[in-house]
Amino acid sequence: MRRAAALVIAVLTTANGMANQNPVRPTYDPALTPALIQKLDPVIDTMWSNFDVNAAMGHVEFVSQFWRLPGNAGFDASLDRVRGKLTTSVVKFDSYPGSGHSWDYSVGTLAIVRDGQPDEVVMSKPRERWAVCINSLPTPESGVVARLVDVGNGAQDADYANKDVKGAVVIGDADIGNLWRRAVMARGAIGVISTTLPRYLNPNPPGAPATPRETWDILQWGSVPYDDATKGFGFKATPQAAATLRKALASRATNVRVTIKSTFTNNPTRTLIAEIPGRVLPDERVVMAVHVQEPGANDNASGVAALTELVAALMKGIRDGKIPAPARTLTFLWVDEIGGSRQWLRDHAAEAKNVKYMFSMDMVGEDVKKTGGTFLIERWPDPGAIFDRPWDPHTEWGRGNVRAEQLKGDLLNDIHLAICLRVARKGGWDVHTNPYEGGSDHTVFGQAGIPSVLDWHFTDRYYHTNMDTADKVSGPEMRNVATAVAATAWLLASADEQMTLEAAYVVAKAGQARVTHEDVEGAKLAAAAADPAAAGRTQDQIVQAWKKWYSEAVRSASRLIVGAPSDAFGTRLITLAAPFAAPPPR
């Protein structure tokens, strides 16, 4: 969430063409009260000191060497490494049946066949790392030789007119799925090469001179459907590789040799679960989850590493008597994204009923100077998920499917942001938020009615690419996120009545500032609109939505308190929520 001094977002384009929002802090940011600071600073300081940056980077280096898919060797090796580090007594693996097609590959080469000369290797695993698409079938050991056919874009039937692609390898600019359907499934090609890249991907480091696109060696990995009948395969090509292939085609008919050594396994999918039992309400939980699959270092070896060292640092702080043991149970999950969270909620239905809050940690370790990503808290759905405002933009990921009637206010957004901003005082950490968009494990817990947030970085110029490597991960950034998540989770698991009222006050104060901002600045936008009357009606709707949401958010503190509240507790919450009451009908 970024706003210029005049309360208008400035969108800047860097020399490398990467759009970034240029921030100053919003006027409605929440701030911890002195009483909460007194409680939380020892937790923050202990986590900060205990978090082992070097160990976290070691985990990133280890995990990011694998193409991690549930059930394959790299996925399981990553979980085994985490298990070896954990010292809490409550650690176990859950296993459930896999899809039957867990995939990995050790050889993946695409080469131009030269008559009487050695093949010209265009892409290989040692160089491009993840060019071969998931589910690509193996070739004979010596490879398979086939014609290369360029279909231009390849997203429309017209692109294939008068082109014989049966038995050929097809190159096109469309996404890999579209090429697969049209070239392999519909026309008998044996494989496809997709050159597509989202516009925000760029291999040029920030501030570096721009380089011609045809020299770029970046690709975004992908997948094709599992199809044992076709024995087909897919590649994602770098712009450099695509230019080489098309240059060869421009001068003569070209054959390519494809050599793939891939394996499929039917191992169970595993979830690693660790817990720090609550000392007062052990059946109630705060959950922290990371996904293990994908091949990236930031996405999501950094999450795996950060959560591992978070648990280690927190356990040490509790053992040393510097952090009080939580009143509620803290549960930590290393999962297959989305599917693993759904499985945990199904298999642990009794525990899931009493999960109070959830944190998803995804892409939490970015070196922001190298990646262009910004640390973001993706908020529990609030009116910002529905109503576009220039001071509260969505990321390039795009809006989620949220309806107004689904919104239910909760204190989680403001409390977590306030604690992140407190952690930021220790190291100049740049903290922002974005409206709910969905797409990671917080979505699954949220659909179960559990207030959830996502800690992540975006927009990342190397997202889902072969360039998401360990050298672009920051150990201090992982420490920042882990410290803030641990401190927030500890508060949510341990708040007595006084701490709960302090938290409700933080939310109420932030809510009043937010409503005022939406009212004043929104009125300016409405007055300048082409139809001020219609814009004014929408403006009233937005302000009332925020009031309703914050009224619920303040009163949600009744879920936070550990133990039985006093008679005065409910009255105090009603008083704090009163400024958000809807006006009487006109």
Q: Are strands 90-96 and 233-236 parallel, antiparallel or unpaired?
A: unpaired
Contact 341, 335 (CB under 8 A): yes
Question: Is cis: bond before 300, omega within 30 of 0?
Answer: yes
Residue type at 470?
A
**Cα 352–357–445 angle (5° rounding)?**
55
211 phi/psi in degrees, rounded to 5: -115, 150
Contact 554, 504 (CB under 8 A): yes
Q: Which string of DSSP letters, residue by residue, matches 401-459?
A: ---GGG----THHHHHHHHHHHHHTTTT---EEE-----SHHHHHHHTT--EEEEEEE-
* Helix, strand or coil, per DSSP, at residue 282: strand
84's CB contacts (< 8 A; 6+ apart) are none
> What local confidence, expressed as pLDDT, does residue 25 receive?
65
Burial class from Cβ neighbours inside 10 Å (0-12, 13-18, 19+) for residue 571 reads exposed
Q: Distances from the Cα of 402 to the Cαs of 217, 228, 444, in angstroms?
A: 38, 39, 14
Chain CA centroid to CA 544, Å:
31
> What local confidence, expressed as pLDDT, does residue 24 receive?
54
> What local confidence, expressed as pLDDT, does residue 19 receive?
35
The per-residue pLDDT string of the chain (586 residues; one tens digit each, 9 = 90 and over) reads 222 222 222 222 222 333 334 345 677 899 999 999 999 999 999 999 999 999 999 999 999 999 999 999 999 999 999 999 998 779 999 999 976 789 999 999 999 999 999 999 999 999 999 999 999 999 999 999 999 999 999 999 999 999 999 999 999 999 999 999 999 999 999 999 999 999 888 888 877 888 999 999 999 999 999 988 888 999 999 999 999 999 999 999 999 999 999 999 999 999 999 999 999 999 999 999 999 999 999 999 999 999 999 999 999 999 999 999 999 999 999 999 999 999 999 999 999 999 999 999 999 999 999 999 999 999 999 999 999 999 999 998 888 989 999 999 999 999 999 999 999 998 889 999 999 999 999 999 999 999 999 999 999 999 999 999 999 999 999 999 999 999 999 999 999 999 999 999 999 999 999 999 999 999 999 999 999 999 999 999 999 999 999 999 999 999 999 999 999 999 999 999 999 986 644 4
Q: Are strands 102-112 and 255-265 parallel, antiparallel or unpaired?
A: antiparallel
Polymer length of the chain: 586
CA 550 – CA 557 distance, rounded (Å): 11
Specify the residue for token string 């199809």.
Answer: 227
> What local confidence, expressed as pLDDT, does residue 230 receive?
86
- Identify which of 543, 495, 548, 490 has the alpha carbon closest to the alpha carbon of residue 519: 543
* Helix, strand or coil, per DSSP, at residue 399: coil
Specify the residue for token string 């490494």.
Answer: 81
> What local confidence, expressed as pLDDT, does residue 88 receive?
78
Q: Which string of DSSP letters, residue by residue, matches 535-581?
A: HHHHHHHHHHHHHHHHHHHHHGGGGT-SSPPPHHHHHHHHHHHGGGP
Q: Distances from the Cα of 153 to the Cαs of 130, 175, 181, 256, 394, in angstroms?
A: 22, 9, 14, 20, 29
Q: What is the dihedral of CA 526, 530, 532, 533, to 10 degrees?
A: -130
> What local confidence, expressed as pLDDT, does residue 5 receive?
23
Phi-psi region of 464 (alpha: psi -120 to 50; beta: other; left: phi over 0): left
> What local confidence, expressed as pLDDT, does residue 26 receive?
76
CA torsion through residues 371, 394, 443, 522, sign: positive
Phi-psi region of 258 (alpha: psi -120 to 50; beta: other; left: phi over 0): beta
Contact 552, 410 (CB under 8 A): yes
Q: Which string of DSSP letters, residue by residue, matches 336-379?
A: -TTHHHHHHHHHTHHHHTTEEEEEEE-S--B-HHHH--EEEEEP
Residue type at 571?
T
Q: Are strands 19-21 and 11-13 parallel, antiparallel or unpaired?
A: antiparallel
**Cα 73–79–82 angle (5° rounding)?**
140
